[in-house]
Amino acid sequence: MSCLKVALIGYGLAGAAFHAPLIAVASGLRLAAIVTSDEGRRARARLEHPDAVLLARADEIWARSGDYDLVVVAAPNRAHVPLALAALDAGLPLVIDKPFAPTAEEARLVLERARKLGLMVTVFQNRRWDGDFLTLRELLEQEAFGQVHRFESRYERWRPEVRGGWRERPAAEEAGGRLFDLGSHLVDQALLLFGPVEDLYSEVERRRPGAQVDDDVFLALRHTSGVHSHLWMSALAAQPGPRFRVLGERAAFVKHGMDVQEEALRAGRKPDEQNWGEEPEDRWGLLGAGDKLRKVRTRPGSYGAFYAGVSRSLRDGTPPPVDPEDAIRVLELLEAAR
């Protein structure tokens, strides 16, 4: 079958390092157009994806909407909603980078428009396909812990100086700061593992000199299932804690280090390489209790599974890889925390 033609809006970090490489290797998809007006990014896009048409404005997509089958919005957060609505009005299905929108209300507006027009919309929650997260889901399915009572999850970095950029701007429409940037992933993972939340406690702080957005965040979620999730996201972790710590009635699981896929994508590696997403043994997690511990091999991560799911959804009418309702529930919790 012919490939579905994809128009990618934005060629910053998200567009260049994540979406474009994944689209380029996805079966049934073809990266047909890239929208960016920045000359440096246009040069990079021309080099990395020579078969894609370069456009300066998203309006050029809407004017030739019949040439495309899917729009991917990888622009700054403030542009998510206007670009999404324009794409839908042009009759085009949609992938939106996380967070779905600056507010849950705006996200609902987009989803209602998509349903009215009968068009697919999904949100790029790629961390659902982190290798360590896939491993943890497998351990839960195997009931390796007995009853889980506490889930700890961290995205902690050491970036003590404010670097600038739109993520550091305080305006609400920017949806900047660590809460919306990293919390979009952590809360999504917690909900996927342990279900709805009935209570929330938050510490949302600005600690770096000159910071205008939150840079050190802690969330405590109480799930209706009885599990308590403790989530950390910080730019000020000179020594980060474990990526995951799961405590259960029979055993615990502790895992250090981040998934290897982001590092590989930033380095220019291709997601169709052999052994993609494989993690070295010295970064595997430990499962057990007391001194009876065993290493658990980390499952290979697979960000490409997201776009494989998008392709199936467009061709076969199957549900999209991420239900947009899930992304709205995440936004509701992030807004409550803020």
Question: What CATH number is associated with residue 41?
Answer: 3.40.50.720
My answer on whether omega of the bond before 99 falls inside 30° of 0, hence cis, is yes
Is 333 inside a domain boundary?
no
First to last CA, the chain: 47
Is 334 inside a domain boundary?
no
Task: Verify that 104 and 144 share a domain, yes or no.
Answer: no
Distance CA 166, CA 168 (A): 5
Is 283 inside a domain boundary?
yes
Task: Verify that 106 and 164 share a domain, yes or no.
Answer: no
Task: Verify that 80 and 144 share a domain, yes or no.
Answer: no
The pLDDT assigned to 279 comes to 97
Task: Verify that 196 and 98 share a domain, yes or no.
Answer: no
Task: Verify that 202 and 65 share a domain, yes or no.
Answer: no
From residue 18, alpha-carbon distances to 22, 122, 127, 303 in Å are: 6, 16, 12, 9
Q: Are 324 and 107 in contact (CB under 8 A)?
A: yes
Residue 250 CB coordination number (10 Å):
12
Distance CA 154, CA 257 (A): 10
Task: Verify that 156 and 99 share a domain, yes or no.
Answer: no
68 three-class SS: coil
321 three-class SS: coil
Is 338 inside a domain boundary?
no
The pLDDT tens digits along the chain (338 residues) read 689 999 999 999 999 999 999 999 999 999 999 999 999 999 999 999 999 999 999 999 999 999 999 999 999 999 999 999 999 999 999 999 999 999 999 999 999 999 999 999 999 999 999 999 999 999 999 999 999 999 999 999 999 999 888 899 999 999 999 999 999 999 999 999 999 999 999 999 999 999 999 999 999 999 999 999 999 999 999 999 999 999 999 999 999 999 999 999 999 999 999 999 999 999 999 999 999 999 999 999 999 999 999 999 999 999 999 999 999 999 999 999 99
Task: Verify that 137 and 271 share a domain, yes or no.
Answer: yes
Pairing of strands 70-73, 4-9: parallel
From residue 165, alpha-carbon distances to 76, 126, 176, 206, 212 in Å are: 10, 22, 10, 16, 12
Q: Strand ranges (DSSP E) for 210-338? A: 216-223, 228-234, 244-248, 252-255, 285-289, 292-296
Task: Verify that 246 and 119 share a domain, yes or no.
Answer: no
Distance CA 237, CA 247 (A): 23
Element (H, E) at 191: helix 183-194
The pLDDT assigned to 304 comes to 97
Model pTM score? 0.96
Is 81 inside a domain boundary?
yes
Tokens found for residue 141: 């399915």
Q: How far is CA 210 from the centre of its chain?
A: 27
Within 13 A of 98's CA, how many CA atoms are on the CB side?
Answer: 28
Question: How many structural domains are present in the chain?
Answer: 2
Which residues in 126-165 are b (16+ Cβ under 10 Å) and which e?
bbbbbbbbbbbeebbeeebbeebeebbbbbbbeeeebeee
Is 216 inside a domain boundary?
yes
Task: Verify that 308 and 295 share a domain, yes or no.
Answer: no
**Which domain, by its residues, includes 33?**
4-125+304-319
Q: Scanning the structure block, which residue is given the tokens 């600690």?
A: 207
Task: Verify that 139 and 287 share a domain, yes or no.
Answer: yes
Is 191 inside a domain boundary?
yes
Task: Verify that 109 and 167 share a domain, yes or no.
Answer: no
Distance CA 11, CA 65 (A): 20
Question: What CATH number is associated with residue 203?
Answer: 3.30.360.10
The pLDDT assigned to 164 comes to 85
Dihedral class, residue 316 (left if φ above 0, else alpha if ψ from -120 to 50, else beta): alpha
Task: Verify that 101 and 203 share a domain, yes or no.
Answer: no
Residue 1 CB coordination number (10 Å):
5
144 three-class SS: coil
Distance CA 274, CA 102 (A): 38
Distance CA 34, CA 46 (A): 9
Is 31 inside a domain boundary?
yes
Which residues in 14-43 are b (16+ Cβ under 10 Å) and which e?
bbbbbbbbbbbbbebbbbbbbbbeeeebbe
